[in-house]
Amino acid sequence: MNYWEKKLDQIAAARKKQGTLYDRKELRSIRGRHRRWEDGSLKKWLAKVPERSETFENPSGLPLKRLYSPTDVAYHRYAQDSGMPGEYPYTRGIYPTMYRGRPWTMRMFSGYGSPEETNSRLKYLLKEGETGLSIAFDMPTLYGIDADHPRAEGEVGKCGVSVSSLRDMEVVFDGIPLDEVSTSMTINAPASVLTCMYVAVAEERGLESAKLRGTVQTDILKEYAAQKEWVYPPEAHLRIIRDMILYSTKHLPQWNYVSISGYHIGKQVQVPYRSWLSL
Per-residue model confidence as pLDDT tens digits over 172-218? 999 999 999 999 999 999 999 999 999 999 999 999 999 999 999 99
Instruction: Identify whether residues 26 and 156 lie together within a single domain.
Output: no
Cα dist. 25→12, 15, 16 in Å?
Answer: 20, 18, 16
* Same domain as 251, residue 146: yes
pLDDT at 158 over 80: yes
Q: Does 269 lie in the same domain as 198?
A: yes
What three-state secondary structure class fits 135?
strand
Q: How confident is the model at residue 19 (pLDDT cuts 50, 70, 90)?
A: low
Domain range for 56 is 11-82
Phi, psi (deg, nearest 5) at residue 175: 75, 5
| 51 belongs to a structural domain | yes
Segment 15-19 shows an average pLDDT of 65
| DSSP codes, 208-229 | -GGG-EEEE---HHHIIIII--
Same domain, 243 and 192: yes
| pTM, entire model | 0.72
Average pLDDT over residues 142-167: 95
Q: Is residue 93 part of a domain?
A: no
With DSSP H G I counted as helix, E B as strand and the rest as coil, what are the percentages for the chain, rounded to 5? 50, 10, 45
145 with 266, same domain: the answer is yes
Quick check: 83 pLDDT over 70? yes
Quote the number of domains for the chain: 2
The verdict on residue 123 lying in a domain is: yes
* 252 and 195 inside one domain: yes
Distance CA 8, CA 14 (A): 10
Q: Residues 136, 178: one domain?
A: yes
CATH number of the domain at 218, please. Answer: 3.20.20.240
Q: Both 67 and 116 in a single domain?
A: no
Same domain assignment for residues 146 and 218: yes
Q: Is the pLDDT of residue 279 over 50?
A: no
Residue 115 domain flag? yes
Pairing of strands 182-185, 213-216: parallel
- Alpha-carbon distance of 186 to 219, in angstroms, equals 10
Mean pLDDT for 57-69 is 90
Residue where a domain terminates, one of 48, 82, 116: 82
Q: Is there a single domain that holds both residue 166 and residue 264?
A: yes
